[in-house]
């Protein structure tokens, strides 16, 4: 195992709870925005985008994804749903 992978694994073990809390915060903020807007249209595209966001969430938890990618995925999901 190379040094970067070792440090990344240690960081993820130590901060896993913080990552999960941040993921939760991003999701709750996005849903609160949708509720405040007051409209939502379920479509095959919103379902696809939700799946994309879920995939990124799992990648983050496993140390392979980035919070910024999750945030952007939820932004795309929200924008599609509130059209």
Q: How confident is the model over 17-42, as pLDDT tens digits? A: 688 888 999 999 999 999 999 999 99
More confident residue, 75 or 12: 75
pLDDT category, 46, cuts 50, 70, 90? very high
| Cβ 75 vs Cβ 28: under 8 Å | no
> What is the predicted pLDDT for the residue at 81?
95
> What is the predicted pLDDT for the residue at 6?
53
**Nearby residues of 67 by Cβ (< 8 Å), 6 or more positions away:** 19, 22, 23, 26, 60
What pTM was computed for the model? Answer: 0.77
- Helix crossing, 3-37 with 44-61: angle to 10°? 150
| Cβ 16 vs Cβ 61: under 8 Å | yes
pLDDT category, 14, cuts 50, 70, 90? very low
């Amino acid at each position: 195992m190379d040094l970067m992978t070792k440090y990344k694994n240690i960081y993820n073990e130590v901060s896993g709870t913080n990552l999960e809390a941040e993921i939760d915060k991003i999701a709750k903020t996005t849903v609160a925005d949708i509720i405040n807007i007051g409209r939502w249209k379920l479509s095959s595209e919103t379902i696809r985008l939700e799946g994309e966001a879920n995939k990124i969430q799992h990648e983050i938890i496993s140390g392979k994804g980035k919070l910024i990618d999750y945030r952007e995925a939820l932004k795309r999901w929200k924008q599609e749903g509130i059209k």
